[in-house]
Amino acid sequence: MAAALFAGAPALTTAAVAGGLAALLAAVSLLVASVRMAPQHRPAARWLGSAAVVWLFGVVLRPVAGSSLAVNFSDLLVLVATVLLAGGCVLAAGRAMHARVVLRQLTDAYLCAAALFLISWVIALKPLYLDVGDSSTFMITLVPALVSLLVTCAVGPVVVTARSPLWPLGLAGLAVLAAATIGELAGAVARLGGVEPPRWSLLLAPVAFLLLAALPWSGRSARIIDAGDEESTAPTGQIAATLIAIVPLCLVVIAAAATLLNLKGPPVTGVALIAASVVVILVVRVFVLVTATARMRHLVALGDRQLRELAESTGDVVLVCDYEGVVREMGAGVEVTYGYRPDDLVGGSIFDYIHPEDVPGIQLALRQMGLDEDPAEPGACLIACRVRAADGTWRPTESVATRHVGGEELLLVTTRDVSDEEALRNQVAHLTFHDGVTGLPNRAYFEERTREVLEGRQAGRTAVIFLDLDGFTSVNDSVGHASGDYLLGQAARRLRGAVRPDDTLARWGGDEFAVLVETGPEAAQGAVDVAERLVRAVSQDPFRVADRDVALTASVGVAFAEDGVPAGDLIRNADVAMARAKELGGRRVEVFAAHMHADVVRRLELAADLHRALVEEQFAIEYQPVVDLATSRVTAVEALVRWWRGSVFVPPEQFLGPAEDTGLIVPLSEWILREACREVAAWRASSWDIGLSLNLSARQITAPRFVETIAEALEESGLPASALTLEVIEEMLVEDAEETISRLSELRALGVRLAIDDFGTGYASLAFLRQLPVDMIKIDPSFVSGLGRDETLTLLTRTIVRLGHDLGLIVVAEGIERPEQLELLREMGCTRGQGYLVARPMAARGVDSLMRTNLTSLGS
C-alpha cells in the first residue's frame, strides 16, 4: 500500500483495497478464534470481527461515493463499524458498571471530545471554517469524525483500566478505534479543504487491523484461546485511575486557555454551543461533587455516632482524647460503668485514673501512634490496664485506641470493663488446676509444680510422697459415692494439717493423694517424718460418714529425687513404693528402692507373657488325687494349672497373682474348667466314679456370666453337676460377701458342690458356714504339718475334724507328707486327704495308671 501511494496511485482507491483486505483478514481471524475461545470470551471477538466486516464495506464503498462535502452512505457504515468496535472493546474489558459510573464516564468522554474539538478549532479548524463559509456543511462533514472521537474517549478509560484476560485484545480494538478516528478527522479536514487526505492517515487503520488480526494467535492471547481463561495482568491500579480522572480536566483547562487566547472574530454558533455545554457539564459536576461530599460527611458523622452508640450499648465507655491523654469528649456510659459524671472528666487526663504501674506502657504506646511515619493511614492500638472506679476499686479493662478521629490529631478510645471475664478466667484456671471434691491442687498442677521444683533445686532435697486410703472402695460401695466424696474432703483436711506450709499437697485421683516435699538439708528424715504423720492423720481417728464411724488406714510410698531423674520418673517411683506398701498389708511407709521398679517391670512382662501363653496354649493341667482315708480309694482329683514357658517351668505362685491382677485369670480358669470337665467326664464314662475339684478366684466369681459358664462347661462335657466341687478361700467370702454368697448360692442350686479351702486361716469361717450351704471343708496344710510334733496344732486339727462331723460336712486334710500325719488323721476320723504321701500331682495319663491300680499299696 505504501509503495502504491508513493508511486502516485490514487489514494482513496489504494486505501480502500488495502484497508478492505486488512479488515477482511481481521474479521476472519477474530471469527475463527472465537470458535476456540471460552464461551464468556466469544462475544468480544465476534463484535470486533463484525465491526471489521462493516468497516470493510464502508471503506470499499468510499471511492465510489466520491469526495463531496456531504456525508454519504460509506460514512454511515464506517460510523456503525466504530460503534461495533466500541462494543467489542467494552466486552473485552469485561467490566460490569453501575449506571452512575456509566453516566460519569460519558460526561468525561464528552468533556474530552469537546476540549479536543476546541483545541483543534483554535489550531486548524477555524481558518478552514472561514474558507468554507457554510457553517452547516462544515459541521455536518465533521459529525462522523466527532462521533468517532466521542466514542473513542468513552471507551478508552474502560479498556485501559480493565482486569479481563482479554485486555490485550481490547487494547488492540482501542488502537483500531483511535486509528479510524484519526483517519476520519484527517479525511474530513481534507474534504473541507478540497484536497486529498494525508498519506500517513490512510496507513493507520489498515496497520491497526493487521495488528488486531494477528493478536489472537500470538503469545498470551493464544494461551487464552487454548486454555479458555487466564489471570489478568492488565496494568490497573489507583495511579492509573487517578490519571484517567485528571485527563478530562487537563484537556478542558488547555481548551479554555486556547479559546481565551483566540477570541478574535465573530463567534461561531456551533463552537459556542460546545463551549457552553462544557461549562454546563462542569457546573453540574461540581454541584454533584458538592452534594456527594455533603452526603459523605453526613454518613461519616452518622456512622461515627452510631459507632459510639453501639459501643456504649455493649457496655463500652467511649471517649476522645489527644496524644497527651487529655480528655476532649466522654461518653455517658462512664457513669454507669465507673460512677463518674462525664462532664467532670472532660479536660482532665486519663492517666489520673489509670493504675500507676500501667501508665508508662500506655504513654509509650500513645507516643508511638503519634510518631507513626504514615499519619494518613488509620491506626489502632490494644491497651490493657487497670482503671480506678469512683468507689476506689481497680477494675481490669481492655481498650482500643484509634487515631485520626474526624481527620484531627485525636484518639477515639473504647474501654470495656473486663472484671467479670477476669474473674471467670481465674475461676477456670482454678478449676483447671484444682480438684472439685477436696479443693486441693490436682494432678496437672502437681506434675507441673514438680517439674518446676526439680529444675530449680538440687536433687536429693526434694521428695514425692504418694498416699492411698486402704479400704476406701468399700466405703463407696456401702454408703454411696456422695458420702465417699465427703470422706475424701475430711481426709484432705487432715492431710493438709499434717504437711508443712511449704509442701504441696494434691489429690492425684480416686483415693490417692500426693505430696511434694521441698525439704532442707535433712531431706530423707524430713520426708519420712511427713509420711509417718500422714499415716497417723488418717488412721488415728475414724471418719464420720453417713451417721457411722469408718476406720481407714493409709499406704504411703516415698521417693527421693536424684540427679538426672525427670519429674515423671520421680512421681512413678513414689507410686511404685506406695503399691509396695499396699501389698505388704497397708498402714505403713515404704521408701522407693530400685528393685521395686524392676519388680513392677517384671510383673508387666509376665502379664504380657501370660496373654501370649493363653493364645499359644502353653498351659497344661495336672491332677492331684483326693483319697478316702478309710478305704484308700481315689474319690476325686484336684485340677492344678501348670505353665511351661518354652522349656522353663514357671511356679504357680509366680504367675497366678499377676493373672489375678490383670484379669487374665478369668479366661485361664474357664479353659481349665472346660479341659478338666472333659477329662473327668471321660474317666467317669469308663466306670470310674471320680469327682473333680477346682479352685475359684475372686475375679472369676465376679465376672459376667460366671454361673452360665459353669453350666455350659458341665453340659458340653456331660459331667454331672454333683461330680464338680468348687473351692473358695475364706478371704473371698469376707470381701464383697453379699455378691459372692449370691453367686455361690446360684451354683449350689445347679447341684455343684462347694468347699472352703484353707479352712482355719481366716476369721469369718464359722459365720459363713451358717450363711452358705457348703459340702466340704479342707484343712490348711499349716495345721497338718504340725501333727505329731505340735500339740496345739494337733488339737486344732482334731477340733476342725470334729466340727466338720458335727455339721455333716466332708473334711479333707491337705499337705499329708509323713506317715504319722496319715495315721493321726485316720484316728481323728478325717474323711479324706491329699498330699505328696498320698500322690503327687500328675498328668492325665498318670491318673489313668493310678486308677487302675486303685492305690492298693496305700495302706502299707
Task: Please write the tens of the pLDDT for every residue from 612-626.
Answer: 888 888 899 999 999
Task: Find, among 505, 497, 501, the residue nearest to 536 by Cα.
Answer: 497
CA 454 to chain centre: 32
Q: Which residues of 722-736 are buried (b: 16+ CB within 10 A; e: fewer)?
A: ebbbbbbbbebbeeb
pLDDT value at position 622? 92
833 forms beta bridges with 627, 813
Name the residue among 103, 96, 95, 102 with its Cα closest to residue 167. Answer: 95
Burial 167-202 (b: 16+ CB within 10 A, else e): bbbbbbbbbbbbbbbbbbbbbbbbbbeeeebeeebb
Identify which has the larger pLDDT, 208 or 6: 208
The 3-state secondary structure of 114-159, one letter per residue:
HHHHHHHHHHHHHHHHHHHCCHHHHHHHHHHHHHHHHHHHHHHHHH
* Burial class of residue 100 (count of CB atoms within 10 Å of its CB; 0-12, 13-18, 19+): exposed
Among 91-95, 652-656, 748-752, 852-856, the least confident range: 852-856
pLDDT band at 467 (very low <50, low <70, confident <90, very high): very high
- The Cα–Cα gap between 154 and 177 comes to 11
Among 149-163, 304-318, 410-424, 707-721, top mean pLDDT goes to 707-721
Q: Are 147 and 81 in contact (CB under 8 A)?
A: no
Judging by beta carbons within 10 Å of its beta carbon (0-12, 13-18, 19+), is residue 368 exposed, middle or buried? exposed
**For residue range 640-683, what is the model confidence (pLDDT) as tens digits?**
999 888 778 888 888 888 888 778 888 999 999 999 999 999 98
Q: CB neighbours (10 Å) of residue 260?
A: 9
Sign of dihedral through CA atoms 434, 440, 446, 452?
positive
Q: What is the mean pLDDT of residues 562-585?
A: 86
Cell of 132: 468554507
Alpha carbons 848 and 669: distance in angstroms, whole number: 23
Classify 636 as helix, strand or coil: strand
DSSP string, 212-252: HHHGGGSHHHHHHHHHS--------SHHHHHHHHHHHHHHH
Q: What is the tens place of the pLDDT at every residue in 418-450?
A: 888 888 888 887 777 888 888 899 999 999 999
For residue 436, CA distances in Å to 432, 440, 444, 669 come to 10, 8, 13, 41
Residue 382's DSSP bridge partners are: 400
pLDDT surpassing 60 at residue 564? yes
Its pTM stands at 0.44
Cα separation, 328 vs 322, whole angstroms: 7
pLDDT at residue 180 tops 90: no
Are 518 and 449 in contact by the 8 Å Cβ rule? The answer is no
CA dihedral 215, 216, 218, 223 (to 10 degrees): 140
* CA torsion through residues 254, 257, 261, 266, sign: positive
Q: How confident is residue 381, by pLDDT bands cut at 50, 70 and 90?
A: confident
Q: Which amino acid, one-letter code, is at 693?
A: S
